[in-house]
Chain A
Amino acid sequence: MQRRDFFKKIGSVAAVGAVIPVMSFAADAPKPVSPNKMDYKVAVDAITGGKAPVKSSKVKLKVPEIAENGAVVPVTVEVDSPMTDSDYVKAIHVLSTKNSNARCIDVNLTPANGKAYFSTRIKLGGTQEVVGLVELSNGEFLIASQSVKVTIGGCG
């Protein structure tokens, strides 16, 4: 068996396992309350300690305007930084303004990373802003955001 085929098979088995319980319980189960519910404002304050982040073009946030699939929205954050011992990016945080838990991912960096660059995929519950929040070694916080539309589509 080819490696790819093997992964494809594993992938489809996993998908079936994940879907069936949802289908059988969806109708009667009460909507689960997320144990990790966290509002956007609370999430930002938790990261910055209440300090106001500064909007900056040094933070390059790459997300699609319209999500092809709200379950896997590609996000890339790149920060213009020399990444030296005296001036580097300490952390990149990706947040969403309206998800039940606004905090998507925290990435800690050191000068040894060489480049402040991180790319991932996040899940979006609906149309909202995606935010890249960046912590610098001097204690400053920079921020960039963009609206991402999550739509059922079908009007083209």
Chain B
Amino acid sequence: MHIAAIFGLGMAAGGCNTGVKSPAQISLKDIYDFKAKGNFTLLHMCDLHAHIKPLYWREPSTLISAPNLVGTPGFLCGEAFAKHYGLEPSSLDAYFDTYINFEELAKKFGKMGGIAHMKTLTNHIIKERGAENVLFLDSGDTWQGTGVALKTGGEAIVKAQNYLGIDVMVGHWEFTYGKERVKELIDMLDAKFISQNIVGDDPFADEYEELIFEPYTIEERGGAKIGIIGQSFPFTSTANPKEFTEGWSFGLRLETLQEYVDELRNEKKVDCVVVLSHDGFSVDQEVARQVNGIDFILSGHTHDPSPQPITINDTVIVIAGSHGKYIGRLDVDAKDGKVKGYEYKLIPIASNLIPADPEGEKLVHELYAPFAKEFNEVLGQTKGMLYKRDTFFSTFDQLINDAIMDEMQCDVSFTPGYRWGTTVLAGDDILMDNVYEMCGITYPNVYTFELKGEKIAQLLEDIADNVFNENPLYQQGGDMSRLGGVTYSIAVSNKAGERISNLKIGGKPIDLNKTYVVSSWGGNLQKAGENLQKDKIRPVYDVVRDYIKREKVVDVSNKGNVTLLDYSCGCPTKGSMGC
């Protein structure tokens, strides 16, 4: 199957729509509707990526994994997702959770997320439950992802978290502000920052083999003692530049996780053990298999919306999407050291339906005001929808590759397979703010250097194994790097090192002995290259801005550059290689 961008002509056509509520028919009551349970409520947010304003965010139309993981939660999209969770076509949930008919439904339901809208919802829940019975947990990837975050060194987002009333958090992209800045931001943050899996590994530092953060915290809500253990992203030092966290060692550290679970249960006598995690949804399913005694894992990192919790080895796992699109509400009945029951709902933050809290609108306005002129500059328009996500290819990444190849005159361009970004609808203006939403990172430079064909082929296999390894513990939770100037075929279920074939550069079969000029940003590839062209180094957001301004109207090809050999569709269902 050739993987192209799919703009969604899915299952919802004509007569299937009976019974689906239009926005006018959906009331706040429907969104708030919840059968309250037990003695306390955990509110959960993950992967906000600094989106304090509402946005459009389209879920993937391709989400491919090793065959053993196909159709399992964490690897569900589109029609397979709708079928698994029983979504009604064209409903609000279908709009939030899948790519199907995205553009049409975007016009119907409007933007998603935004802290002012989240706050209205959390205020409602706090009023219903009582402030002393509600705890708000944040799985991280909160401080990075927009221009306002980048320009304020994360501070704008810490203010947003304080406004939202976050109680506890863990991190991943947070660390890309560097160790010192992370500590400064934690000082400004009202919430506790915890992690049991970050340990000093510099033998000359005071913190050698010591925990960098508190491993857990015990909070009392609704008369229950809740033990919360922090699990930051285990692969921060390989997924992001090492220099930001020099001297800190990450990793899953399941032995110590088990020790903290036992300590909380046996010594601290808590009523409920929660792991607040940035491991990723599929990795946390593995964690639940290997560590005993966890009641709930509130997961993050892989951006999956999961309308229903999953239970593995008596551990209930939830994950609440990304970009502020959802808040997870978990009501728990726990006392005498035991969880007796729970109720969960993934609540969509439909910004046209949940009114904004005026205080939040004011805060967002104040935070954006110093940068309004730069961020609101209209760079151009887009002919088709620009989106990020999908396993191999997405249109906004293609635009970035087009911009890099145009300016750098390289043979190959690499753009990282992050899962954060934004969506711009067809015909809409592209603002500078949108460019920052796609590439606002603290190491934005585009590097241009030389790589042997052999090395390029080997790197692609290496990246493919990070994405498609059959064991979630060996994945890093991102998608394939997006390549400009390159086409290839891939057999995902092949052995590591043997997945990629028919690799072509500039339309010609790759010459393994030839040296190619490669541009890349957001990764470590330049370290593998030679003859770095120092005079060409420039931040990616400037390269993309200038390109859009030159083009005025961008018309990105949605053809895709990857042929998938062993699957017949982008969203396969369980037990099959197709839909």
Contact = CB atoms under 8 A, between A and B. Distances in A.
A149 B239 CA distance: 13
A36 B251 CA distance: 32
B255 A62 contact: yes
A156 B233 contact: yes
Interface in A48-69: 62, 64-69
A155 interface: yes
B204 A7 contact: yes
Interface in A9-25: 11
Contacts of B242: 68-69
Contacts of B525: 152, 154
Contacts of A11: 204
Contact of A155 (B204, B467, B473): B467
A113 interface: no
A35 interface: no
Given A65-B252, A68-B238, A153 B474 contact: no
Given A8-B204, A66-B238, A66-B476, A152 B251 contact: no
Given A65-B251, A66-B234, A154-B524, 19 more contacts: A4-B204, A11-B204, A65-B252, A65-B474, A68-B242, A69-B237, A151-B465, A152-B527, A153-B239, A153-B476, A154-B239, A155-B239, A155-B480, A156-B172, A156-B235, A156-B239, A156-B240, A156-B476, A156-B477
B466 interface: yes
Contacts of A7: 204
Contacts of A151: 238, 462, 465-466, 476
A152 B528 contact: yes
Nearest to B301: A156
B177 to A, nearest CB: 15
B522 A154 contact: yes
Interface string A66-109: 11110000000000000000000000000000000000000000
B466 A147 contact: no
B426 interface: no
B478 A156 contact: yes
A153 B251 contact: no
B492 to A, nearest CB: 15
A66 B235 contact: yes
B416 interface: yes
- The residue among A4, A69, A153 with the most chain B CB atoms within 10 A of its own CB is A153
A152 B522 CA distance: 12
Nearest to A26: B530
27 contacts: A62-B255, A65-B251, A65-B473, A67-B238, A68-B238, A68-B242, A68-B249, A68-B250, A127-B465, A127-B496, A147-B474, A149-B465, A149-B474, A151-B476, A152-B459, A152-B462, A152-B527, A152-B528, A153-B238, A153-B476, A154-B238, A155-B417, A155-B418, A155-B463, A155-B466, A156-B418, A156-B477
A155 B476 contact: yes
A156 B251 CA distance: 14
B546 to A, nearest CB: 25
B307 interface: no
Contacts of A8: 204
A74 to B, nearest CB: 8
A67 B238 CA distance: 8
Interface residues on A, range: 20 to 34
Interface residues of B, number: 43
A123 to B, nearest CB: 16
B481 interface: yes
B523 interface: yes
B97 interface: no
Contacts of B465: 127, 149, 151
B479 interface: yes
Contacts of A155: 239, 416-418, 463, 466-467, 476, 478-481, 523
- The residue among A4, A7, A62, A152 with the most chain B CB atoms within 10 A of its own CB is A152
A132 B172 CA distance: 32
Contacts of A152: 459, 462, 523-525, 527-528
Interface string B494-536: 0010000000000000000000000000111101100000000
Contacts of B459: 152
B382 to A, nearest CB: 26
Contacts of B236: 156
A59 to B, nearest CB: 15
Contacts of A68: 237-238, 242, 249-251
A78 to B, nearest CB: 11
Contacts of B524: 152-154
Interface string B448-469: 0000000000010011011101
A80 to B, nearest CB: 15
Contacts of B235: 66, 153, 156
A4 B207 CA distance: 12
A64 B476 CA distance: 13
Contact of A154 (B206, B233, B416): B416
Interface string B388-419: 00000000000000000000000000001110
A64 B251 contact: yes
A151 B458 CA distance: 11
A149 B249 CA distance: 16
Contacts of A62: 255
Q: Which 10 A-B pairs have the closest CB atoms?
A: A156-B239, A154-B523, A153-B238, A155-B478, A154-B524, A68-B237, A65-B473, A64-B251, A8-B204, A156-B478
